[in-house]
Amino acid sequence: MKRRMDPITYPETWISLDALKTTGFNEIVFPYRPTLSAAEFVDDRHRELASAKTGMNNIAVCIDIGIEGFLTHGDALKLYEMAALCSGDVLELGTHKGPVDEHFSCRHLHQE
């Protein structure tokens, strides 16, 4: 039986709904910070994502791993961390194309 981990939170990164209304996508990019692990990366693939090239869809902050979508390094690393370390299901609600999001969860599950 896996021990339940208490999440690490970063209140300084929380964004109010009012701020979201006036802030552009490129202005809301935060670096990845672990939520469920004291380690910076959960495995080698997670570490590789941190240095993935950017520029997908001509947006400087979106990673380009050959799958169309709109994820920043921080978002991709967080999704991978959640899929790797959770003991249950992962539900990610996207706003555009889902294949890049699903790639992180499925890739980790197939490594087990």
For the segment 35-86, what is each residue's pLDDT rounded down to a tens digit? 877 778 888 988 998 999 999 888 888 888 888 778 888 888 888 888 887 7
What is the residue-averaged pLDDT of the chain?
76
Q: Is the pLDDT of residue 110 over 60?
A: no
Mean pLDDT comparison of 8-17, 72-81, 102-111, highest-scoring range: 72-81
pLDDT score of 111: 54
pTM confidence score: 0.68
Give rounded-to-5 percent helix, strand, coil for the chain: 45, 0, 55
pLDDT (0 to 100) of residue 1:
47
pLDDT above 70 for 26: no
For residue 80 the two structure tokens come to 């991978």
Q: Which two tokens stand for residue 28?
A: 């809301």
CA 112 to chain centre: 20
Residue 106: how many CA atoms within 13 Å on its side-chain side? 6
- Catalogue the E-assigned strands of 1-112: none
